[in-house]
Amino acid sequence: MSSVAYTLHSAFPVPVRTEPKLSPNHRESKNRPSQAETEARRGSATVLVAAETCSGKELTIMNQEFERRVQERTGQLREANTGLAKQNEELARESRMKSDLLARMSHEFRTPLNAIVGFADLLAEQGEGSLGDAYADYVRHVSDGAQHLLALVNDILDLSRIEAGRMDLRCGDFSAADAIVEVLSVIEPLAKSKNIKLHNDVPGTLITYADRTRFKQILFNLLSNAVKFTPVDGSVQVNAEQDCEGVRFCVIDTGIGIPPEQQEAIFEEFVQVTSPANGVKEGTGLGLAITKGIVELQGGRIWVESALGEGSRFFFTFPAGD
């Protein structure tokens, strides 16, 4: 019980409640938790430790399972990559064998074809006497057929060299305008037969760095296609300008145009865009594939912009000369 004391400062005594003084031992016993509380706390700690231990085991199992799956998947990917590498090696070997076979066959075909063309030309000259109109036509057909086959063999030979990476290139600086003039002189008879105007707008001061012979082959392929697919009274133009890529050349025609969905396919082997119904004599489908290969071998690129009925523009680039 608490004691009551009386103060002497007022007229009437007022009782004041005072707490009894506790000994240190009694104060500690009051703050100390009871045995029941201690047991409860111990039980909670045991449950928490058990839960943490259980979670740790589950995490360990999950990590081990994850590592197992990663190792398993890594092994599968390694096996797949090994299989793909073997397939690529086999495909590369078969491609080289195909290119070598085409090159050898082409060489074997060229010799007799050259002989056929030569003898047909001799007969066409009628140096040993008149053949008559009928036999003269036969000789002309023989010569035309042999020259067509010879051109095909040469295309196949070029294509096989490009695929095998064996095309010899002798690059150097030269005037692009002069080389284009030489190509246009060869194209001119075909253009005149269709009354097609040829324009060379390449500056004479423009110097490019490339294999001059292969450069002329590229221009010949593009210009001959342009004349072939341009109707009568059309026009074909060649221009060039220097840009960040080097020198960009462009062959422009007023021909029948190329559908958008076929503008990438035309650079593939044996692909022909138009049908015989267009009245155009079809080629082998190798010219643009060879052109693309020659351009890329010399560090350039080639592409086309075209629309049906609006003509085509073929672009290709080469490094600029000094």
pLDDT of residue 1: 43
Q: What is the pLDDT of residue 12?
A: 40
The pLDDT of 199-219, averaged and rounded, is 93
| Residue 7 pLDDT | 43
Query: Averaged over 84-93, what is the pLDDT?
Result: 84
Residue 193 has pLDDT above 90, yes or no: yes
**pLDDT greater than 50 at residue 4:** no
Does 312 or 16 have the greater pLDDT score?
312
pLDDT band at 27 (very low <50, low <70, confident <90, very high): very low
User: Looking at residue 165, what is its pLDDT?
Assistant: 75
User: Could you read off the pLDDT of 53-73 as tens digits, one per residue?
Assistant: 556 778 888 888 888 888 888
The pLDDT value given to residue 105 = 73
Measured distance CA(24)–CA(49) in Å, rounded: 36
Residue 14 confidence (pLDDT): 44
What pLDDT sits at residue 316?
Answer: 96
Q: Between these two residues, 302 and 103, which has the higher pLDDT value? A: 302
pLDDT bracket for residue 92 (50, 70, 90): confident
> Residue 6 — pLDDT band, cuts 50, 70, 90?
very low
Residue 165's nearest CA partner among 110, 228, 99, 231 is 99
Residue 210, strand partner residues: 172
The predicted structure's pLDDT at residue 34: 60
Q: What is the mean pLDDT of residues 181-185?
A: 93
- pLDDT over threshold 50, residue 116: yes
pLDDT at 22 over 50: no
pLDDT at 37 (0 to 100):
60
218-266 confidence digits (pLDDT tens): 999 999 999 999 999 999 999 999 988 799 999 999 999 999 989 999 9
Q: Per-residue pLDDT for 198 more than 60?
A: yes
Q: Give me the residue label for tokens 């095998």.
A: 164
> How much is the pLDDT for 45?
55
Stronger pLDDT, 273 or 176, i.e. the higher one: 176
Residue 274, pLDDT score:
57
Higher pLDDT, 3 or 258: 258
Q: Is the pLDDT of residue 23 over 60?
A: no
3-state SS track over the chain: CCEEEECCCCCCCCEEEECCCCCHHHHHHHHCCCHHHHHHHHHHHHHHHHHHHHHHHHHHHHHHHHHHHHHHHHHHHHHHHHHHHHHHHHHHHHHHHHHHHHHHHHHHHHHHHHHHHHHHHHHHHCCCCCCHHHHHHHHHHHHHHHHHHHHHHHHHHHHHHHHHCCCCCCEEEEEHHHHHHHHHHHHHHHHHHCCCEEEECCCCCCEEEEEHHHHHHHHHHHHHHHHHCCCCCCEEEEEEEEECCEEEEEEEECCCCCCHHHCCHHHCCCCCCCCHHHCCCCCCCCHHHHHHHHHHHCCCCEEEEECCCCCEEEEEEECECC
pLDDT, tens digit, for every residue of 261-303?
A: 899 999 988 787 654 445 555 567 788 999 999 999 999 999 9
- Tell me the pLDDT of the chain averaged across its residues: 80
Q: pLDDT by residue (tens digit) across 130-151?
A: 878 888 888 888 888 888 888 8
